[in-house]
Chains A and B, each alone.
Chain A
């Protein structure tokens, strides 16, 4: 059998900031199979971003195993497309050049990188903006550009940290659909962070609910709504029941 895209086993993280150690993650177990859309949801400040930094290879766990494609030993940086909460576009690069950032890091020849970037912009409807500077774009557009940059760097495994958190409801919905289109085009495996319950249900195959800090997995929920997903499905009886269950769970965690 093919190894899981991502396997996280007993990963914990203790920050030593000053004298008092800060327990952020307490033994997290989760996995993402190839082509799966998996969401991590939890109360704010529970250490979701720390988990992402560890998976992205920016940070190291205090204990536990992180394996990408079955490899637990090798360098993790470069093996995922990591998208942080803010779009973090470089203001001195045009949209096209921003999307090419990861290819520049990989030292791909300029010509080839430009062609790949332009193809992607065309496929996902941003070709008209190729030569705009990010400052001239709306918030939703910037987020799309950041997402395409992530995909162009590594489309097989995406780490998306609350990418739509700062957007208004309508823009958010259109970007969610756009993301699902992207995901199906590239057959990506996705690990997604959110604290929006409806977003988690709409997008995911499986949801991990984390506790307040130190974070551990409270519950694992399989979402068996049919694909392709549409926002109307959130009104289905099973979706509503799921939403209530998750909201109750998170509310209890937020208070404690």
Chain B
């Protein structure tokens, strides 16, 4: 079972190694200056040599990413269920960074109330969600710097903005996807709207939520690096920028490598949590494949 799973990645592995080998040979053959395009082995070497510095920047970026994703999840969940304990969770996060959290919580609560009130308001809010995704982050990031300063807050905000959309849309679709006959069944049992949400809609939306979260995990790190790029004390984004400015291209590549690994790890972590949290879901998927 495990072996077959690994074998599935075989072709990608072969292709990747081949491309890297070409790259290595191209640089070693002197076709291009190793100052402009360092070889893969040189990148690995530089990464190991500078790991003490890079690791500090990595931790910073990771922190921003995880906090940003947490905020995005928080906004979504409070937006869709409007429960008091979500506000408690958010207040814990808020103690870390008051200003951003205040924005996120206020935003989340407004969303919560509007989405809960009626279908009409849902129709009104949904397009605004889409529009929020058309904001070019590259233009917004410097403004956030001016508004909220150079430290953690604006980065978390950028990550949240990036991650919020895939999570929120996936959740909203998942909640709306509940079978009407199932809702009727619950109504025939005289279940309240709240019970229908809690017993049927929310658990049914969990697979969609995790799909959204997986997409968010791959976006998140990039978002944090965007935020850092325009100004930060620490982080892979500012590290890349400084490396470019000092023509240490090999270190830019090292940072890119770390970024990719970080994204993949987050992606894997989300998938792992999903497998543990939704054992039933993986059962059904396997059965569908067989039949």
Residue positions of B touching A, CB distance < 8 A: 179, 181-182, 184-191, 195, 199-200, 203-204, 206, 278, 280-281, 283-284, 287
Contacts and interface: CB of A to CB of B under 8 A. Distances in A.
A191 interface: no
Contact of A82 (B185, B199, B200, B204): B185
A80 to B, nearest CB: 7
Contacts of B186: 105
> Which 10 A-B pairs have CB atoms at the shortest separation, nearest pair first?
A78-B190, A82-B188, A77-B190, A56-B188, A135-B284, A105-B191, A105-B189, A92-B280, A58-B184, A133-B280
Contacts of B179: 88
B189 A102 contact: yes
* Residue among B195, B200, B280 with max Cβ neighbours from chain A (10 Å): B280
B185 A88 contact: yes
Interface string A52-95: 01001110000000000000000101101010111010111100
B184 A91 contact: no
A133 B188 contact: no
Contacts of A203: none
Contact of B181 (A78, A88, A102, A159): A88
B182 A135 contact: no
A145 interface: no
Contacts of B204: 90, 92
Interface of A: 53, 56-58, 75, 77-78, 80, 82, 84-86, 88, 90-93, 101-102, 104-106, 133, 135-136, 153, 159
Name B's interface SS: helix
A133 B190 contact: no
Contact of B188 (A80, A85, A93, A104): A80
Contact of B199 (A104, A136, A153): A104
Nearest to A154: B189
B34 to A, nearest CB: 55
Given A92-B280, A105-B195, A105-B199, A135 B187 contact: no
B189 A77 contact: yes
16 contacts: A58-B184, A75-B190, A78-B189, A82-B185, A82-B188, A84-B181, A85-B181, A88-B179, A91-B280, A92-B204, A104-B199, A105-B190, A105-B199, A133-B284, A136-B283, A153-B189
